[in-house]
Structure formats: C-alpha cells, structure tokens
Amino acid sequence: MALLNAKTLRDVRKCVEKYCANYAGGVCILHESPCDYYGKYGHSVSCDYFEQAVLPNEPLLQKAYEEAHGIINAEKEAVKYNVGKCAKCGEAFIKRSNRAKYCGACHAVKQREHNRNYMRKKRSS
C-alpha cells in the first residue's frame, strides 16, 4: 500500500540526504543495508530513526508525512492533554487539572451559582 505520494517521497529522500546521520551514499549505516526510503517500498516504510531524529528538521514535510502515514495529530494531543467529559453537558474538554469536572462554559456557570449560594448563605446568617 502506498502511503506517501511521489512528491512527499521525493522530499523525504531529500531530507534523508540532507539530515540523516546514518545515510551514506544510499546505504543506511544503522541497518547496514540500502536506505529503506530508496527501496521499492520507500513510499510505505517507516523508519523510527528517520521519524524521530531526521524528519523534525522539516516541519512541513513532517506534517505531510504524518498525515500520509495516518499519524493523526488529534490522537497525539489527546495523549498529551488529559481529555475529560463534562459532567454537566457531556462535551469533551481538556482538563487543566485532574479535579476538573466541567467544560469551560459549564465551569463558569457553576462558579456563578456557587458565588450566588455563598452570598445568600452569608446574608441569611
């Protein structure tokens, strides 16, 4: 299955030549074999070293590459942030603390209710 289109693969190869420390004249020093991206399946291989150490040098290419490989950013974000479900409206939201139960909008409403109750109690006592 081809993942990268011809242009992206061409750019990947350029990126390998330019930045990959293991690339020497078409051969990967690390794997002691021809660089995977130059092989027959270059458009669908996945080299860990390339993805982690070489690709970040070219942010635009990295984006195209990750999209083609189905490495979706939303997935990464979900891991990075703690995504919770609002206890009031059920909307997904990013938790800023582990105790957060409500989304931004509901939190504001709750806060207002809380303040109102507090003021009422204060006045009646």
Q: Does residue 88 interact with Zn ion by CB under 5 A?
A: yes
Q: Does residue 106 interact with Zn ion by CB under 5 A?
A: yes
Q: Does residue 89 interact with Zn ion by CB under 5 A?
A: yes
- The whole-angstrom separation of Cα 20 and Cα 25 is 11
Residue type at 70 in one-letter notation: G
Contact 3, 43 (CB under 8 A): yes
Determine the interface stretch with Zn ion among 7-15, 62-70, 97-105, 115-123 (rule: CB under 5 A).
97-105
**Nearest-5° Cα angle at 4, 69 to 35:** 95
Q: How far is the CB of 100 from Zn ion (least distance, A)?
A: 11
Q: Does residue 53 interact with Zn ion by CB under 5 A?
A: no
Q: Does residue 12 interact with Zn ion by CB under 5 A?
A: no
Q: Does residue 103 interact with Zn ion by CB under 5 A?
A: yes
3-state helix, strand, coil in the chain (%, to 5): 55, 10, 35
State the residues that interact with Zn ion by CB under 5 A: 86, 88-89, 91, 103, 106
